[in-house]
């Protein structure tokens, strides 16, 4: 029921936690990742990453710049060059 | 024989030198811990990126249409040696080891009939390279106003290299830096950065991700094209971090040696000082006694 989500920048591992859903600003449109998503890889445009910790709660927004997202068997990994907040 | 006053002066001067080396040693030890932590924190990103690069590279065939950063310019006539040094001295043979490795490579390439150019990062390597190859220094990157190398510096270096590459100033780039093994051991390392060599983890990465069908958005070539400059930045960033950890390690070791040396010197000088003081007293006594006897 939980999606493992990692946010990594060159300087450090910013997040590594289990969340409900993450909405990623992909280069060709936003996409939401839930648990059990098919393997997927996309570049990211600069924007807000929305992290939903639970189904009902309000999302936490993290501004990211330059990077790409990868969905694999072990969850979602976002590699970003710069992260704010 | 030096006079007592001279000896005393020398002891004092060695003592103040020792104070400086000891302070520098402690500063280096503290900075080393920080630099090591920074190098460690950068590892997950580099590992992930290498994994993704590997799985992508195994899917994309290198052809003439693939990005220049991967395929190369089609010739290997002009080599650029990117030499990363520190800005400060007092770190033993750290800088000269890197420069030496770069010079060896430069001679090798020249013997093979290639043209060699240099790109200098940091201040300390410049004079030596300039002396050996007065006209070959293509550009320099100044890091004197930066306390610790960050991703911004790596970004700027990478951007400048890519620009020079696209202008056709060079065909192959090698990066020289010092790999951090331990505080006592730093290894000057050479690494080809342009064209980007396929990551060594290609096989492992492909089997981990390639098992499932991965969807790409946009397609593989576009992602790869976006990824290559980023990969280059990460490599340079990693090198800068390793370099700064190595610098502090080398500095710590060198300053430890210097402090110990100064201690030995002080001991020797003190013994000499005491001996000559005693000799002076004895002479004086002998004179007094002789004078008294004469009466």
B-chain CB neighbours of A32 within 8 Å are none
Domains belonging to chain B, first-starting first, are 4-22+256-294 (1.10.287.80), 37-253 (3.40.1380.10)
Contact B45 A26 (CB under 8 A): no
Dist CA B228 CA B259 (whole Å):
46
Residue B47 in contact with partner chain A when CB distance is under 8 A: no
Dist CA B147 CA B244 (whole Å):
10
Residue B233 in contact with partner chain A when CB distance is under 8 A: yes
Tell me, what's the pLDDT at B204? 45
Q: Best mutation site among A7, A10, A45, A84 for testing chain B: the one with the most B CBs within 10 Å? A: A10
Strands (E) located in B28-159: 78-84, 115-121, 137-141
Q: Which residue among B28, B32, B91, B193 is the active-site one?
A: B91
pLDDT tens for chain B, residues 1 to 295: 678 899 999 999 999 999 999 999 999 999 999 998 888 888 888 888 887 887 777 777 666 666 777 777 778 888 999 999 888 888 888 999 999 999 999 999 999 988 899 998 888 888 888 888 888 888 888 877 777 778 888 888 889 898 998 888 888 999 999 988 888 888 898 988 888 876 554 444 444 444 456 777 777 778 888 888 888 888 899 888 989 899 999 999 999 999 999 999 999 999 999 999 999 999 999 999 999 998 8
Q: How many domains does chain A have?
A: 1
Nearest to B227 among A28, A68, A77 (CB): A68
Question: CA neighbours within 13 Å on the CB side: how many for B95?
Answer: 18
Dist CA B78 CA B110 (whole Å):
10
The sign of the torsion formed by the CA atoms of B253, B256, B258, B260 equals negative
Judged by DSSP in three states, B27 sits in helix
Cβ atoms < 10 Å from Cβ of A48: 17
pTM: predicted TM-score of the whole model, two decimal places: 0.83
Read off the DSSP letter of residue B187: E
Q: Best mutation site among A5, A36, A39, A41 for testing chain B: the one with the most B CBs within 10 Å? A: A41
Judged by DSSP in three states, B84 sits in strand
B-chain CB neighbours of A38 within 8 Å are 212, 215
Dist CA B178 CA B146 (whole Å):
19
Dist CA B174 CA A62 (whole Å):
37
**ipTM of this complex prediction, to 2 decimal places:** 0.80
Q: Chain A residues contacting B, CB < 8 Å? A: 8-13, 26-28, 38-43, 66-68, 70, 72-73, 77, 79, 81
* CATH label of the domain that carries residue A69: 2.60.15.10
Tell me, what's the pLDDT at B281? 95
Nearest to A39 among B41, B48, B212 (CB): B212
- H-type alpha helices, B112-137: 126-132
Tell me, what's the pLDDT at A57? 83
Q: What is the residue range of A32's domain?
A: 3-84
pLDDT tens for chain A, residues 1 to 85: 689 998 988 888 888 999 999 999 988 888 899 888 888 888 888 989 999 988 888 888 999 988 888 888 888 989 888 888 6
Tell me, what's the pLDDT at B223? 81
Tokens describing residue B37: 């932590």
Tell me, what's the pLDDT at B216? 79
Nearest to B44 among A13, A27, A41 (CB): A13
Judged by DSSP in three states, A69 sits in strand
| Measured CA angle at B147 (ends B141, B150), to 5 deg | 70
Tell me, what's the pLDDT at B199? 58
Tell me, what's the pLDDT at B289? 95
Tell me, what's the pLDDT at B144? 74
Q: Is B160 labeled as catalytic in the residue annotation? A: no
Tell me, what's the pLDDT at B65? 64
Tell me, what's the pLDDT at B62? 64
Contact A41 B214 (CB under 8 A): yes
């Amino acid at each position: 029921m939980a999606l493992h989500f990692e946010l990594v920048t060159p300087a450090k591992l910013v997040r590594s936690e289990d969340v409900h859903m993450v909405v990623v600003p992909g280069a060709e449109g936003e996409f939401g990742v839930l648990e059990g998503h098919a393997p997927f890889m996309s570049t990211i445009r600069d924007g807000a990453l929305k992290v939903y910790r639970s189904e009902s709660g309000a999302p936490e927004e993290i501004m990211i710049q330059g990077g790409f997202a990868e969905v694999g068997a072990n969850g979602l990994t976002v590699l970003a060059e710069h992260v704010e907040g | 024989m030096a006079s007592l006053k001279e000896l005393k002066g020398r002891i004092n001067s060695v003592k103040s030198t020792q104070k400086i080396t000891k302070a520098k040693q402690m500063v280096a030890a503290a900075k080393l811990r920080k630099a090591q932590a920074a190098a460690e924190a950068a590892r997950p990103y580099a590992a992930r990126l290498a994994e993704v690069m590997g799985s992508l590279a195994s899917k994309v065939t290198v052809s003439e249409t693939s990005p220049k950063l991967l395929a190369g310019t089609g010739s290997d006539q002009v080599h650029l040696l990117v030499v990363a040094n520190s800005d400060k001295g007092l770190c033993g043979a750290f800088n000269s080891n890197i420069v030496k490795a770069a010079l060896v490579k430069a001679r090798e390439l020249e013997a093979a009939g290639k043209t060699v150019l240099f790109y200098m990062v940091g201040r300390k390597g410049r004079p030596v390279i300039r002396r050996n190859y007065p006209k070959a220094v293509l550009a320099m990157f100044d890091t004197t106003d930066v306390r610790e190398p960050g991703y911004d510096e790596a970004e700027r270096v990478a951007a400048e290299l890519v620009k020079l590459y696209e202008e056709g100033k060079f065909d192959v780039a090698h990066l020289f830096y010092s790999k951090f093994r331990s505080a006592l051991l730093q290894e000057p390392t050479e690494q080809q950065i342009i064209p980007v060599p396929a990551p060594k983890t290609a096989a492992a990465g492909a089997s981990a991700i390639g098992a499932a069908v991965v969807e790409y958005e946009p397609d593989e070539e576009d992602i790869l094209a976006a990824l290559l400059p980023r990969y280059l930045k990460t490599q340079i960033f990693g090198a800068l971090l390793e370099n700064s950890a190595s610098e502090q390690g080398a500095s710590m070791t060198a300053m430890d040696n210097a402090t110990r040396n100064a201690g030995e010197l002080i001991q020797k000088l003190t013994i000499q000082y005491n001996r000559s003081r005693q000799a002076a007293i004895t002479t004086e006594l002998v004179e007094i006694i002789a004078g008294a006897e004469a009466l």
